[in-house]
Amino acid sequence: MKKGLAIFSVILLICMLSACGTSQTSGSGGEKKVLQMATSADYKPFEYKDTAKGSDIMGFDVDLIHALADKLGYKIEIKDMDFNSLVPALQAKQADIVLAGMTPTEDRKKNVDFTDIYYTAKHMIVSKKGSGIKTVDDLKGKTLGVQLGSIQEGKAKELQKKTAFKIENRNRIPDLVQEMNAGRFDAAIIEDTVAKGYFEADKNLEGFVIQDSEEAGSAIALQKDSPYTKEFNKALKELKDSGELEKLIVKWFGGSQK
């Protein structure tokens, strides 16, 4: 009886160890490896929260990462944080990937890796109607709001070399719009696809694209020397070739990139 009980105990132990091994192995036994994605959910239509519908983060980047994760067999958990905290989160290994309409600048490339570009947009100067701001020269002597850590902050500093104006930064895009409406900012520099949503929500806003500016391309950011970069690039190319990426672009931006 004791011998039989001992054999049963050994078999049970082997099964338990086997089960433990399965839960730690990506893709085996139906388990999916979880990747932590960081974003700044203040950038509609890339990523945002619709409080009327709940606390979930939605948008173009969210649909894109889920499409890529389904193709690669990963599960995604999303963290919301200020934009200027995203690169440090990758460096500190608090996130595996970042999707936040982020442009792969040379400075950022020193600290993190990027995939290929998946969307391009332009810089726009946004102001209240009647402000008289129709060109970059009209910013002279005024206050321009920028999102802290964004590529638009760098663009504003570039424009400042030719036209004398004051730059003020805030953590999130809605803060820039709020400061304009309160009269503390004369204008703000925002990506054109994001500005479009604010024009629809607030008819007192208007803007113009900076015509001589380069396009701001968005890419997925990853930890330096990340093992995921190559496979995400491959999956991204498959989405482009199949037309799935174009469908997402039309869904969220209402127009084609072709």
Q: What are the tens digits of pLDDT across the range 57-88?
A: 999 999 999 999 999 999 999 999 999 999 99
Answer yes or no: are the C-beta atoms of 173 and 148 closer than 8 Å: no
Q: Does residue 13 lie in a domain region? A: no
Read off the pLDDT of each residue in 85-100 and give the average, rounded to a whole number.
98
Q: Which of 193, 209, 225 corresponds to the end of one domain? A: 209
Token representation of residue 245: 């990426």
Any idea what DSSP says for residue 215? P
Whole-model pTM: value is: 0.74
* Residue 2 forms part of a structural domain: no
What is the average pLDDT value for the chain, to the nearest integer?
88
- Would 258 be classed as within a structural domain? no
Structural domain harbouring 237? 31-121+216-253
Query: What is the residue-wise DSSP string for 170-203?
Result: ESSHHHHHHHHHTTS-SEEEEEHHHHHHHHHH-T
From start to end of 16-122, where are the E strands?
A: 33-39, 42-43, 47-49, 57-58, 74-80, 97-98, 112-121
Instruction: Note whether 184 and 231 are same-domain residues.
Output: no
Q: Is residue 249 part of a domain?
A: yes
Residue 21: inside a domain, yes or no?
no
- Kindly state whether residue 17 falls inside one of the protein's structural domains: no
For residue 45, say if its preceding peptide bond is cis, omega within 30 degrees of 0.
yes
What is the residue whose two structure tokens read 């001589």? 212
**Residue 201 sits in the same domain as residue 137:** yes
230 contacts 133 by C-beta, under 8 angstroms: no
pLDDT over threshold 80, residue 256: no
Asked, for residue 186, whether it belongs to a domain, the answer is yes
The answer on 144 and 93 residing in a single domain is no
pLDDT tens digits, one per residue of 103-135: 999 999 999 999 999 999 889 999 999 999 999
What does the alpha-carbon distance between residue 257 and residue 118 come to, in Å, rounded to a whole number?
10
Alpha-carbon distance of 118 to 65, in angstroms, equals: 11
The tally of domains found in the chain comes to 2
At 189, which CATH number?
A: 3.40.190.10
> Distance (Å, rounded) from C-alpha 223 to C-alpha 209?
32
Same domain, 130 and 247: no
- Give yes or no: residues 185 and 232 share one domain: no
Q: Are 73 and 32 in contact (CB under 8 A)?
A: yes
Are 113 and 224 in the same domain?
yes
DSSP 8-state class, residue 162: T
